Amino acid sequence: MTSPRIEVDLGKIRHNAETVVGRLRKRGIRVTGVTKAVCGHPAVAQAMLDGGCTGLAEARLSNVRRLRDANKNCSITLIRTPMLSQVDEVVQLCDASYNTQIVVIAGLAAAAIRKNMVHDIILVVEMGDLREGILPENVGAIAQHVVNMPGVALKGIAANFACLNGIAPTAAKMAAFSSLSTEIEGLCGPYIEAVSGGNSANLPWAFGKQPVGRVNDLRLGEAILLGVDPITGKQIGGMHTDAFTLIAEVIETDAEPALPSIALVSPDFAKPRLVSNDAGARRLILAIGQQDTDIQGLTMPLGTALIGATSDHLVVGTHHSTFRVGAEMRFPMNYKALMRAMAAPDIQTELRDDRYPRRSPSRSKAKHLALI
Ligand SMILES: *Cc1c(COP(=O)(O)O)cnc(C)c1O
């Protein structure tokens, strides 16, 4: 088996999708599966669809192309504003796209007319994350513009939270967003079919007791893939947090006579971390580095501490005596580590599909770590 590699448990991803889809269905909200962290991996996308996601969403056209090449014929929405240079392909490959710029919408409309198609437009409204979006006071005018433009159809509106600034959606903000859809319909007719309230950071709001208003869609990546709430990093009840595992190989095991008791974890972050200097601790070097993943986003196995990493080497201190040259070490990953590792050319993915997993999700991270 090659290393480094990512073990992907498709059964766990399907279970996570089923779990959130089931809970959100009761609130009248459907789930769009976001595949950007896995670069549009077709098998992961299929696990999301099998778990009940009604469609897929992607940020990059290259990933959409990968999904289409693998015969994914479901609805795919481009959730990053299209590049003006790509409008023809966007119309060809995507059912709908998220937009904030009239000039881009006009480009999409022209491309759609050339192909004798109609492309669906979802207008992104800026609700406080300050990344992208049309200001709420301007969205009505732009919606009217879209409704009157041949080649495109207004399909809905979308909000996005906690991406750039970690600002979680409040009930008041969600209510304001929901009522925007009714305001827009007052101006230009009943066009707002999709009211997409946000991403995984919206789940605490969506699982709450307050009414969800007209919000009928959430776009979920991290919650389905990693089973965690992106703001707190905590496990979402009933979800697997270990669908992805990074595996790297030990290439050097020379015991150091004494480890420094404090080591700089990374020159980039210069965050000191305690490293045990017990006589039993050994220093291992693994064949993986910053070029492959976000090393800070790896969880070290119990009894093991991160000492540092360079572009191609990972140095850890460990109490385990079992690691020899050629042995493998397994690491859970956070979202940043996952998205970089999935895009790394030297990391293979190994798919597993345990249709009926015997173990239910572990209750806590600590318990999960004990299994390693
Ligand atoms: C990445 C992204 C999502 C999914 O975010 P998660 O936190 O992974 O659920 C949803 N919407 C937009 C616009 C995004 O860019």
CATH number where 273 lies: 2.40.37
**CA 284–ligand 1 middle distance (angstroms):** 36
* Residue closest by Cα to atom 7 of ligand 1: 200
**Residue nearest ligand 1's atom 6 by CA:** 221
CA of 162 relative to ligand 1 center, distance in Å: 9
Q: Please check whether residues 69 and 210 belong to one and the same domain.
A: yes
* Ligand 1 midpoint to CA 73 (Å): 21
221 in any annotated domain: yes
In a domain, 233, yes or no: no
61 and 19, same structural domain? yes
Say what the pLDDT of residue 191 is. 87
Task: Say how far apart CA 173 and CA 175 lie, in whole Å.
Answer: 5
Closest residue CA from atom 13 of ligand 1 = 79
Establish if 236 belongs to a structural domain. no
Kindly give the distance from the C-alpha atom of residue 252 to the centroid of ligand 1, in angstroms, as a whole number. Answer: 39
Does 69 lie in the same domain as 203?
yes
Asked which of 163, 197, 226 is the last residue of a domain, the reply is: 226
Q: Cα–Cα distance between 287 and 350 in angstroms, integer?
A: 18
Q: Which residue type sits at 215?
A: V
- Is residue 8 very low, low, confident or very high in pLDDT (cuts 50, 70, 90)? very high
Same domain, 251 and 222: no
Question: Residue 369 pLDDT more than 60?
Answer: no
Angstrom distance (rounded) from CA 372 to CA 365: 11
Mean pLDDT score of the chain:
90
- pTM score above 0.75: yes
Q: Strands, DSSP E only, in 261-357?
A: 262-264, 272-274, 282-286, 304-309, 314-318, 328-332, 348-352
- 20 and 169 belong to one structural domain: yes
* Ligand 1 center–CA 93 separation, angstroms: 20
Q: What is the CATH number of the domain that holds 110?
A: 3.20.20.10
Identify whether 4 is part of a domain. Answer: no
Q: Do residues 348 and 200 both lie within one domain? A: no
Q: Which tens digits make up the pLDDT trace of 239-279?
A: 999 999 999 999 999 755 555 555 555 555 445 555 555 55
Distance in Å, CA 34 to ligand 1 centroid:
7
Are residue 80 and residue 212 in the same domain, yes or no? yes
Partners of 350 in the β-ladder: 7
Q: Do 193 and 273 reside in the same domain of the chain?
A: no
Q: Identify whether residues 141 and 114 lie together within a single domain.
A: yes
Whether residue 131 is contained in a domain is answered as yes
Band (pLDDT 50/70/90 cuts) for residue 372 is very low
Query: CA 343: distance to chain centroid?
Result: 13
Mutating to test ligand 1, I would choose from 100, 160, 163 the residue with most ligand atoms within 8 A of its C-beta, which is 163
Whole-number percent of the chain with pLDDT over 90:
80
Whether 249 and 279 map to the same domain: the answer is yes
pLDDT tens-digit readout, 141-168? 999 999 999 999 999 999 998 766 667 7
Task: Give me the residue label for tokens 């207004």.
Answer: 154
The residue segments making up the domain with residue 132 are 9-226
Per-residue model confidence (pLDDT) at position 167: 73
SS3 content of the chain, % helix, strand, coil (to 5): 30, 25, 45
- Residue that finishes a domain, picked among 195, 226, 257: 226
| Ligand 1, CB cutoff 6 Å, lining residues | 34, 36, 59, 79, 160, 163, 199-200, 219-223, 230
358 Cα: distance to centroid of ligand 1 (angstroms): 31
Same domain, 262 and 315: yes
Task: Give pLDDT, residue 263.
Answer: 55
307: burial class by Cβ within 10 Å (0-12, 13-18, 19+)?
Answer: buried
Phi, psi of 158, rounded to the nearest 5 degrees: -145, 145
Structural domain contains residue 110: yes
Closest residue CA from atom 10 of ligand 1: 199
pLDDT confidence of residue 277: 55
Residue in 199, 335, 336 to alter for ligand 1 test, most ligand atoms within 8 A of Cβ: 199
pLDDT digits (tens, 9 = 90+) for 289-339: 999 999 999 999 999 999 999 999 999 999 888 899 999 999 999 999 999
Last residue of a domain, one of 199, 226, 253: 226
Q: Is the pLDDT of residue 366 over 50?
A: no
Ligand 1 pocket: which of 30, 79, 157, 217 to mutate (most atoms within 8 A of CB): 79
Asked, for residue 279, whether it belongs to a domain, the answer is yes
371 alpha-carbon distance from chain centroid:
25
193 belongs to a structural domain: yes
- pLDDT-based confidence at 84, cuts 50/70/90? very high
pLDDT of residue 364: 43
**Whole-number Cα distances in Å, 54 to 82, 106, 328:** 22, 28, 38
Residue 251 and residue 323 in contact, taking contact as beta carbons nearer than 8 Å: no
Q: Which atom of ligand 1 is nearest to the CA of 200?
A: 9
Domain shared by 286 and 204, yes or no: no
Residue nearest to atom 12 of ligand 1 (CA): 79
How many domains is the chain built from? 2
